[in-house]
Amino acid sequence: MQTAIIFDMDGTLFQTNLILEPALECTFEYLRHKNLWSGAAPIEKYREIMGVPLDVVWKTLCPDHSDKIRKKSNDYFQAALIEEIRQGNGALYENVLPTLQSLSDSYPLYIASNGESAYLQAIMSTYHLDRWIKGCYSIDIIPSKNKAQLVERIMKEQNIVSGFVVGDRASDINAAIDNNLIAIAVNFDFAQQEEIKKAHHIVEQFPQLIDIIKTYRIQIQEV
């Protein structure tokens, strides 16, 4: 049995905003070329719903399209995102790497993300996150697309009995609370105040996690 830290990826570790706009523009240009879209790409709409499962994303962005076209749009979008990452146009948030390195000295680290597996692996390999991350889990493996169930799956597979979920959206906070873990919200690009106010802690800078988590470690040792 172990205590672990489970991180969200988009908007928590990775600055998705840096590659979101060009990848969406590329996708909707493809739809325009196929006479399936007119007007600007719905970038602000996607920013509002960032963090929800991808099937919800495309139902929201393309409400009048068929499931087949939505799937094709998502496939195109995923390929564009991965190409942006490989071209070096993305970035981790400031001080993510040294913070992960520090935390990994005391806790096993995992990722629970609503992103697709290939996209997550592109980030993992580009920034060599497997130096500290022991497992990267995609919502793809959960039929319900429920992040709380994804975290529950990680806990069962990795024999985790306590720990923390670090994320920026309601799905992350709820995943922590539903599994009796400590919810830590990062107040970064996509965070919404109404969603993150339910977290046990809110941080403005990534290294703040170290002091918060260290406090719990001290409490556990004292007990």
CA distance 62 to 201: 35
Per-residue pLDDT, 58: 92
Residue-level pLDDT, tens digit, the chain, 223 residues: 799 999 999 999 999 999 998 999 999 999 999 999 998 999 888 888 877 788 888 999 999 999 999 999 999 999 999 999 999 999 999 999 999 999 999 999 999 999 999 999 999 999 999 999 999 999 999 999 999 999 999 999 999 999 999 999 999 999 999 999 999 999 998 888 888 999 999 999 999 999 999 998 755 444 4
Overall size of the chain counted in residues = 223
Per-residue pLDDT, 206: 97
Half-sphere exposure of 160 (CA within 13 A, CB side): 27
Per-residue pLDDT, 223: 42
Half-sphere exposure of 27 (CA within 13 A, CB side): 29
